[in-house]
């Protein structure tokens, strides 16, 4: 047995962003990381013991696919999905453009097949062990080798391994994966469970990314495919890597106090105010998210002063690279299990499936220092108690008792036990988030809270003065994405408010009604919206997001030590959409990002005393002077929400949506390319542009 000491991989952080590396010197980062080696609790975490083995692997990456029943095969990309393969073969229009989502629903209602082949050499055939390993199959599929069925996959979050030693033949071997429609499969499973109807979608029967079935910020692309690599492994034994357990320096403190029960994280006994956001999958098709996507989003989060990401339970257990980056960037991770906003089955086969999922995922993820808490689900407990499911789905008496019993068994009992069993670091587990719903007074006294009185309740940010709670793990405010992004999905002849394409990318119920409620309350008389272009409406929606987040965060921060965290919903988008995101699908920071950045870096507790719509403004003459290293900007009169827009250049600047005093000159660091210096593509907007309409 060979034991080796592996140094931490610095490449994710150094490749992450030139801007970030410029701000934090490489010397400091290296010193900071290696200084931890002198501390017992960290040094053990860096010691990767690799037990040597002799197995070899062949990655299978030459695939074809077809619709079942069709005679023609097309080139497929693995990892990938049916939708992205159809798109790459120019067999469908862009799923994210205009209203194309509605036109592509047929894809999820048919079955699909993938196939490849490999050559078994004499060397391979002589090995004692040969198996095929699918790191991720999405989701219901039968696997065949040379026409003989190896087995069936039925969980997107599990690795599926099949022994092929006896079935393999000399020379060329064929592998086929036949996918069943998840829409049809889950509908059949739901029918089998009648008369009990689980709230409130058949998707709960699928161990599959729940957001694929649509969400109030995401499209409905249920899809199918091989979303992670496929390998042939052979040799004497499989390679096993283990991390020696360490003492966890981060603790979750939940203690009874004069208010209720605390909920905060501490390091070496010192409380930490958690500054961060909720993370959703970076693409509607999970395999399409690249390392560049992860890097761009997480570096932006770090530059905004964030120290925590909550991996939300309706998405996926993220790729290893996500957690590697979080480790490198010193961003802690709140890790949900993949259950969200519905009640789930309680039969033995479902529990056995979930147990294996938890085993594989916890063993995979537990080696990352960034993970500081496991959470059973997102808003399922709250939904059962406050969303009216019992009446809506006729769950009364024994039926209601059974559904609730299954909930307790899974989330309060089984997941708790499995987490402790498979996580060598024994990190804390909580059964649900939030502990109490936002309509329950207990949610402001104990546990974490999702305060959606803001937005869903149409309440103002001022409500946080009395309803902040102990740890605000979800809250936020919508805005349209940047106009450069809007133009990517809205045809030119539909660039007006409430056009079919604009509405197709607003998934929240009564989304524009709620958005306009807040615009009217704080910024602009919405009876005059017809005076605004779509670009101007986009701008004022982002000003609103900045204003709400700025003042809400200031209030959250001021409530220390009663409140010890604020995680904004949401950091990112999975497609171009009007949503609560801080960063749009094309990695462009929205106004809320800058509000969060200023609040988290400065820990500012100042709130605005005057609503923006009540400001008395004069027309500003704003001058911009461009230099190689950035630009200076000055206004002759006071200007509010000054937005420097580089349009289709999609350039990120370190500060935006700022206020300028009369005669005040500020400098914004920014790397100017020759093209930008020559074309000067920027546009300047300020609140005067809106209020003067």
Residue 12: predicted pLDDT: 45
pLDDT tens, residue by residue, 328-362: 999 999 999 999 999 999 999 999 999 999 999 99
| Whether 337 contacts 410, CB under 8 Å | no
Alpha carbons 555 and 202: distance in angstroms, whole number: 40
Who wins on pLDDT, 240 or 364?
364
Alpha carbons 674 and 678: distance in angstroms, whole number: 6
Interhelix angle 534-558/591-602, nearest 10 degrees: 20
Cβ count near 324 (within 10 Å): 19
Residue 15: predicted pLDDT: 43
468 closest CA partner among 444, 432, 496, 436: 444
pLDDT tens, residue by residue, 386-430: 999 999 999 999 999 999 999 999 999 999 999 999 999 999 999
For tokens 């300020």, name the residue.
686
Q: How far is CA 283 from CA 21, 107, 300, in A?
A: 26, 18, 17
pLDDT band at residue 489, thresholds of 50, 70 and 90?
Answer: very high
Alpha carbons 603 and 475: distance in angstroms, whole number: 18
Average pLDDT over residues 508-527: 97
Please determine, for residue 368, whether its predicted confidence score (pLDDT) is greater than 60.
yes
pLDDT tens, residue by residue, 588-615: 999 999 999 999 999 999 999 999 999 9
Count of all residues that appear for the chain in the document = 693
CATH architecture observed for domain 615-691: Sandwich (2.60)
pLDDT band at residue 244, thresholds of 50, 70 and 90?
Answer: low
| Mean confidence (pLDDT) of the chain | 90
Residue 647: predicted pLDDT: 80
For tokens 């911009």, name the residue.
624
Output the 3-class SS for 293-343: HHHHHHHHHHHCCCCEEEECCCCCCCCHHHHHHHHHHCCEEEEECCCECCC
pLDDT band at residue 128, thresholds of 50, 70 and 90?
Answer: very high
Residue 37: predicted pLDDT: 29
Strand 332-336 with 371-375, pairing: parallel
pLDDT tens, residue by residue, 146-161: 999 999 999 999 999 9
pLDDT band at residue 564, thresholds of 50, 70 and 90?
Answer: very high
Strand 449-450 with 472-474, pairing: parallel
Please, how many CA atoms are within 13 Å of residue 627, restricted to the half-sphere of its CB?
Answer: 8
Torsion from C-alpha of 490, 491, 496, 500, nearest 10 degrees: -70
| Whether 145 contacts 164, CB under 8 Å | yes
Q: Kindly report which listed range (19-33, 87-101, 208-222, 522-536) carries the lowest average pLDDT score.
A: 19-33
Q: Which fold has domain 271-612?
A: TIM Barrel (3.20.20)
Q: Kindly report which listed range (22-26, 222-226, 234-238, 307-311) carries the lowest average pLDDT score.
A: 22-26
294 closest CA partner among 571, 47, 596, 109: 571
Q: What DSSP letter does each residue of 138-193 carry, written as one string?
A: ESEEEEEETTEEEEEEEBTTS-EEEE-TTT--SEEEEEEEEEPPHHHHHHHHHHHT
Please determine, for residue 237, whether its predicted confidence score (pLDDT) is greater than 90.
no
How far does CA 601 lie from the centroid of its chain? 22
Q: Which fold has domain 57-238?
A: Jelly Rolls (2.60.120)
pLDDT band at residue 9, thresholds of 50, 70 and 90?
Answer: very low
| Whether 90 contacts 133, CB under 8 Å | no
Q: Kindly report which listed range (54-68, 258-272, 336-350, 367-381) carries the lowest average pLDDT score.
A: 54-68
Please determine, for residue 240, whether its predicted confidence score (pLDDT) is greater than 90.
no
pTM of this structure: 0.91
Alpha carbons 616 and 593: distance in angstroms, whole number: 26
Please determine, for residue 490, whether its predicted confidence score (pLDDT) is greater than 80.
yes
227 closest CA partner among 164, 146, 284, 145: 284
- Rg for the chain, CA atoms, rounded: 26
What letter would DSSP give residue 245?
Answer: P
What letter would DSSP give residue 546?
Answer: H
pLDDT band at residue 628, thresholds of 50, 70 and 90?
Answer: confident
Which residues in 266-288 are b (16+ Cβ under 10 Å) and which e? eeeeebbbbbbbbbbbbbbbbbb
Q: Kindly report which listed range (68-77, 193-202, 364-373, 641-650) carries the lowest average pLDDT score.
A: 641-650
Residue 17: predicted pLDDT: 43
| Whether 113 contacts 65, CB under 8 Å | yes
Cβ count near 208 (within 10 Å): 24
Residue 320: predicted pLDDT: 97
What letter would DSSP give residue 244?
Answer: P
182 closest CA partner among 159, 209, 215: 209
Beta bridge partners of 153: 141
pLDDT band at residue 33, thresholds of 50, 70 and 90?
Answer: very low
Residue 248: predicted pLDDT: 67
- Whether the bond between 457 and the residue before it is cis, its omega within 30 degrees of 0, is no
| Whether 139 contacts 207, CB under 8 Å | yes
Who wins on pLDDT, 679 or 337?
337
Alpha carbons 652 and 297: distance in angstroms, whole number: 12
| Whether 271 contacts 564, CB under 8 Å | yes
Alpha carbons 408 and 474: distance in angstroms, whole number: 23
In the chain, % of residues over pLDDT 90 = 84
pLDDT band at residue 627, thresholds of 50, 70 and 90?
Answer: confident
Alpha carbons 75 and 31: distance in angstroms, whole number: 48
Please, how many CA atoms are within 13 Å of residue 541, restricted to the half-sphere of its CB?
Answer: 29
Please, how many CA atoms are within 13 Å of residue 169, restricted to the half-sphere of its CB?
Answer: 10
Helical H segments across 490-533, by residue range: 500-504, 511-522
Average pLDDT over residues 460-487: 97
Which strand (E) or helix (H) includes residue 424? none
Domain limits, the chain: 11-51, 57-238, 271-612, 615-691
SS3 197: coil
Residue 245: predicted pLDDT: 53
Residue 67: predicted pLDDT: 98
Residue 565: predicted pLDDT: 98
SS3 497: coil
Residue 23: predicted pLDDT: 34
How far does CA 401 lie from the centroid of its chain? 33
pLDDT band at residue 8, thresholds of 50, 70 and 90?
Answer: very low
Average pLDDT over residues 160-184: 97
Please determine, for residue 680, whether its predicted confidence score (pLDDT) is greater than 60.
yes
């Amino acid at each position: 047995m060979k034991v080796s000491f592996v140094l931490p991989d610095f490449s994710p952080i150094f490749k992450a962003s030139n801007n970030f590396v410029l701000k934090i010197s490489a010397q400091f980062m290296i010193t900071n990381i290696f200084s931890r080696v002198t501390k017992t609790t960290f040094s053990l975490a860096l010691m990767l013991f690799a037990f040597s083995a002799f197995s070899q692997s062949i990655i299978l990456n030459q695939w074809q696919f077809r619709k079942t029943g069709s005679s023609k095969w097309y080139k497929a990309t693995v990892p990938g999905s049916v939708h992205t393969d159809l798109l790459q073969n120019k067999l469908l229009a862009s799923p994210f453009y205009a209203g194309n989502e509605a036109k592509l629903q047929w894809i999820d209602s048919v079955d699909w097949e993938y196939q490849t082949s490999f050559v078994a050499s004499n060397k391979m055939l002589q090995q004692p062990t040969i198996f095929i390993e699918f790191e991720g199959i999405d989701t219901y599929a039968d696997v065949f080798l040379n026409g003989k069925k190896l087995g069936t996959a039925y969980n997107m979050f599990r690795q599926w391994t099949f022994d092929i030693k006896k079935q393999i033949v000399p020379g060329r071997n064929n592998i086929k994966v036949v996918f069943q429609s998840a829409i049809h499969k889950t509908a059949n499973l739901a029918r089998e469970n009648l008369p009990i109807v689980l709230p409130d979608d058949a998707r709960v029967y699928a161990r599959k990314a729940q957001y694929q079935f649509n969400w109030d910020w995401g499209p409905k692309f249920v899809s199918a495919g091989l979303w992670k690599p496929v390998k042939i492994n052979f040799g004497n034994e499989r390679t096993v890597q283990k991390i020696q357990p360490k003492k966890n320096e981060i603790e979750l403190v939940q203690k009874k106090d004069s208010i209720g029960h605390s909920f905060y994280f501490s390091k070496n006994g010192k409380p930490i105010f958690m500054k961060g956001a909720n993370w959703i999958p970076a693409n509607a098709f999970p395999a399409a998210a690249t390392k560049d996507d992860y890097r761009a989003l997480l570096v932006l989060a770090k530059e905004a002063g964030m120290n925590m990401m909550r991996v939300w339970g309706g998405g996926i257990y993220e790729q290893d690279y996500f957690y590697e980056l979080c480790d490198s960037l010193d961003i802690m991770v709140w890790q949900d299990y993949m259950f969200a906003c519905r009640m789930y089955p309680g039969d033995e086969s479902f529990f056995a499936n979930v147990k294996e999922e938890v085993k594989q995922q916890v063993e995979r993820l537990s080696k990352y220092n960034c993970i500081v808490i496991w959470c059973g689900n997102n808003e399922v407990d709250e939904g059962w108690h406050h969303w009216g499911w019992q009446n809506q789905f006729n769950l009364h008496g024994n039926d209601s008792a059974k559904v609730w019993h299954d909930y307790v068994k899974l989330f309060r009992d089984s997941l708790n036990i499995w987490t402790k069993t498979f996580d060598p670091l024994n990190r804390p587990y909580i059964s649900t988030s939030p502990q109490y719903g936002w309509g329950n007074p207990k949610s402001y006294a104990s546990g974490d809270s999702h305060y959606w009185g803001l937005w869903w309740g149409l309440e103002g940010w001022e409500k946080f003065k009395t309803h902040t709670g102990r740890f605000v793990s979800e809250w936020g405010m919508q805005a349209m994405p940047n106009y450069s992004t809007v133009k990517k999905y809205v045809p030119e002849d539909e660039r007006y408010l409430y056009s079919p394409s604009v509405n197709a990318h607003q998934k929240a119920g009564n989304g524009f009604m709620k958005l306009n409620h807040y615009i009217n309350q704080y910024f602009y008389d919405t009876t005059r919206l017809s005076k605004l272009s779509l670009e101007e409406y986009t701008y004022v929606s982002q000003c609103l997001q900045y204003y709400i987040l700025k003042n809400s965060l200031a209030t959250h921060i001021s409530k220390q030590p009663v409140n010890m965290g604020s995680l904004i919903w949401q950091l990112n988008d999975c497609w171009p959409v009007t949503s609560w995101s801080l960063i749009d699908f094309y990695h462009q920071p929205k106004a809320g990002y800058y509000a969060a950045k200023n609040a988290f870096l400065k820990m500012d507790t100042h709130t605005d005393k005057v609503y923006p719509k009540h400001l008395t403004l004069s027309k500003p003459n704003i001058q911009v002077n461009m230099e190689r290293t950035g630009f200076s900007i000055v206004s002759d009169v006071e200007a509010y929400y000054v937005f420097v827009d580089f349009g289709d250049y999609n350039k990120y600047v370190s500060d935006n949506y700022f206020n300028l005093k009369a005669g005040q000159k500020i400098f914004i660091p920014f790397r100017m390319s020759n093209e930008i210096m020559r074309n000067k593509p920027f546009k300047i907007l300020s609140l005067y542009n809106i209020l003067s309409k």
